Amino acid sequence: MSPGRLRSDFIFKTFYLSIFLFLLFTGKKEKNYFDTIAINDVKLAKAVPGEWRYSREEKFQTFEDFQKRKIKYPQ
């Protein structure tokens, strides 16, 4: 075998090994939607005068409250 042939074989084997390792270690992990978006849950800072939240009180709503709500549709 010529040195050029050995070098190209090495390059191809390295390439395929890199692709294999990439696919192996970046496989899809089982996460549900809520685990994925949990990083968006940030605590809001205290409201200051001039903000909508400063002059209004809101009742905290849990997911169970959301599911129990009665939807009103237009007639």
pLDDT tens per residue, range 6-27: 678 888 889 999 998 888 887 6
Q: What's the domain count of the chain? A: 1
**Residue 75 is assigned to a structural domain of this protein:** no
**Residue 74 is assigned to a structural domain of this protein:** no
Tell me which residue has tokens 């390792």. 21
Q: Could you tell me which of 64, 46, 62 has the C-alpha nearest to residue 54?
A: 46
For residues 20 and 32, give the distance between their C-alpha atoms in angstroms, rounded to a whole number: 26
pLDDT for the residue 58: 79
Range of the domain at 24: 3-68
Residue predicted with more confidence, 26 or 2: 26
Q: How confident is the model at residue 36 (pLDDT cuts 50, 70, 90)?
A: confident
**Residue 49 is assigned to a structural domain of this protein:** yes
CB atoms within 10 A of CB 65: 10
**Residue 53 is assigned to a structural domain of this protein:** yes
* DSSP H stretches of helix in 1-75: 3-25, 33-37, 63-68
Give the CA distances from residue 39 to residues 35, 36, 43, in Å, rounded to whole numbers and listed in that order. 8, 7, 11
- The pTM assigned to this predicted structure is 0.34
pLDDT for the residue 1: 57
